[in-house]
């Protein structure tokens, strides 16, 4: 990445193009660069959170700054709260929109799970790959608290016509989700997620296919027997299902 490009990304004027650029963003510079766009009190809180989180890894850094944004918003009366939140949700910087994803998860923590999920879907549909990842990572701890209810909820929304929503509904409870805590119950008892997964064993869209395959690959590391039995009970019968099986069993001895 060239120095001029990094400078524009740090100022929030360009989105990142790949993971390397996401990791390279100076979030302290970015927070302070918002001074001409957001209330000065908020910019101070964001900059302070960015400074304190500087030594953390990317996921904890984004989460910490997003929490600071959420805490400021919940103390701010309407209509300013909505105005500022929309500014962050539509900002040219994918990093700022990622903060907003964590802010939304904080703001919806007392709402019923379905309302919280529906509110998070705007980020699941974001044009940027990174924001789509933070969308599920931000809400995952809440939904992982009651797996039975969450699996039923996700099963209803995983039938959405939008493949980005379908992907979100599968990705959010991956047993070994990337950059987040594992879900021990699903590592040991992945069969409880069959009602969510089985309808998508022939998922048509590759982006969503990968989430189904990655979920099963996660499970194969602790329950290879279940993954193999799943495909015996539901043998692949099309190109999409064969691709999912190949990717889902890639960690198993061939």
Q: What is the pLDDT of residues 188-241, one digit of tens each?
A: 999 999 999 999 999 999 999 999 999 999 999 999 999 999 999 999 999 999
Reading the block at residue 6, the tokens are 């990094």
Q: Is the overall model pTM greater than 0.75, yes or no?
A: yes
The CA–CA distances, whole Å, from 101 to 91, 119, 250 equal 12, 9, 32
**Residue 44 domain-assigned?**
yes
Report the pLDDT value the prediction gives residue 244, as an integer from 0 to 100: 97
Say which residue the tokens 């990317």 belong to. Answer: 58
**Residue 254 domain-assigned?**
no
**Residue 149 domain-assigned?**
no
Report the pLDDT value the prediction gives residue 179, as an integer from 0 to 100: 84
**Residue 227 domain-assigned?**
no
The mean pLDDT of the chain is 95
**Residue 182 domain-assigned?**
no
The answer, yes or no, to whether residue 18 has pLDDT greater than 90, is yes
**Residue 42 domain-assigned?**
yes
Report pLDDT digits (tens) over 54-91. Answer: 999 999 999 999 999 999 999 999 999 999 999 999 99
Domain count for the chain, please give it.
1
Report the pLDDT value the prediction gives residue 1, as an integer from 0 to 100: 67
Burial 5-32 (b: 16+ CB within 10 A, else e): ebeebbbbebbbeeeebbeebbbbbbbb
The answer, yes or no, to whether residue 118 has pLDDT greater than 70, is yes
Between CA 62 and CA 49 the distance in angstroms is 10
Between CA 181 and CA 141 the distance in angstroms is 8
The answer, yes or no, to whether residue 46 has pLDDT greater than 80, is yes
DSSP category for residue 236:
-
Give φ, ψ of 63 to 5 degrees. -65, -40
Between CA 49 and CA 43 the distance in angstroms is 10
**Residue 18 domain-assigned?**
yes
**Residue 221 domain-assigned?**
no
Domain hosting 103: range is 1-110
The answer, yes or no, to whether residue 253 has pLDDT greater than 90, is no
């Amino acid at each position: 990445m060239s120095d001029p490009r990094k400078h524009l990304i740090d100022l929030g004027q360009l989105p990142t193009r790949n993971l390397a650029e996401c990791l390279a963003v100076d979030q302290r510079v970015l927070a302070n660069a918002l001074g001409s766009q957001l209330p000065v009190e908020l910019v101070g809180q964001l900059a302070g959170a960015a400074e304190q989180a500087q030594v953390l890894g990317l996921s904890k850094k984004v989460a910490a700054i997003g929490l600071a944004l959420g805490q400021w918003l919940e103390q701010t009366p309407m209509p300013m709260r909505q105005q500022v939140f929309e500014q962050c949700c539509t900002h040219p910087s994918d990093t700022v929109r990622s903060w907003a994803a964590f802010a939304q998860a904080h703001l919806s923590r007392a709402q019923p799970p379905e309302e919280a999920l529906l509110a998070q879907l705007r980020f699941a549909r974001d044009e940027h790959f990174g924001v789509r990842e933070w969308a599920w990572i931000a809400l995952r701890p809440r939904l992982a608290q009651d797996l039975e209810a969450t699996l039923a909820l996700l099963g209803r929304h995983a039938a959405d016509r939008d493949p980005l929503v379908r992907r979100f509904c599968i990705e959010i409870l991956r047993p070994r989700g990337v950059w987040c805590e594992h879900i021990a119950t699903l590592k040991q008892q992945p069969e409880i997620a069959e009602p969510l997964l089985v309808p998508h064993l022939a998922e048509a869209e590759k982006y969503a296919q990968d989430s189904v395959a990655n979920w099963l690959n996660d499970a194969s590391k602790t329950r290879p027997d279940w993954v193999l039995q799943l495909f015996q009970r539901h043998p692949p019968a099309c190109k999409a299902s064969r691709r999912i099986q190949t990717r889902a069993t890639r960690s198993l001895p061939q």
